Amino acid sequence: SSDLPVYTQEEVTKHRSLSDGVWVTYKGGVYDITDFVAIHPGGDKILLAAGGALEPFWALYAVHSQDHVLEILSEYKVGEL
Ligand code: HEM
């Protein structure tokens, strides 16, 4: 648990562009990764997950199965699903 707000999937789905903000979910957490998009080592592919879950994409790109990737993600947490 945390003191962060709880968001609905509908609210997350509204954030799928750089102008509206880019939000993603991962294991019940909500992340505003707008500022990370430009520095993502995998480039614009990250936008495929915009407004939805990271899990299906990270299952395909195993490069994300590393502690340091989760540490980066944690910096962008804004809420719970
Ligand atoms: C690489 C973070 C989402 C595709 C990486 C790396 C990091 C990272 C740190 C470098 C890993 C390393 O080499 O040690 C993230 C974070 C994401 C995210 C924090 C979400 C917030 C995605 C998504 C996709 C993706 C959704 C695909 C749809 C890739 C690819 C690479 C990569 C293809 C390899 C780039 C290369 O080495 O040429 N990502 N990623 N990433 N990511 Fe992501």
- Tell me the pLDDT tens digit for each residue of 5-19: 999 999 999 999 999
**CB contact set of 64 (below 8 Å; sequence gap of 6+):** 54, 58
Assigned domain for 14 exists: yes
Q: Establish how many alpha carbons lie within 13 A of residue 3's alpha carbon, considering only the half-sphere containing its beta carbon.
A: 0
What pTM was computed for the model? 0.96
Q: Which residues form the domain of 13?
A: 9-76
Ligand 1 pocket test target in 61, 65, 67 with most atoms within 8 Å of CB: 61
Q: Residue 16's domain is classified under what CATH number?
A: 3.10.120.10
Distance 30 CA to ligand 1 centre (A): 17
- Tell me the pLDDT tens digit for each residue of 39-50: 999 999 999 999
ipTM: 0.96
Give how many domains the chain has, as a whole number.
Answer: 1
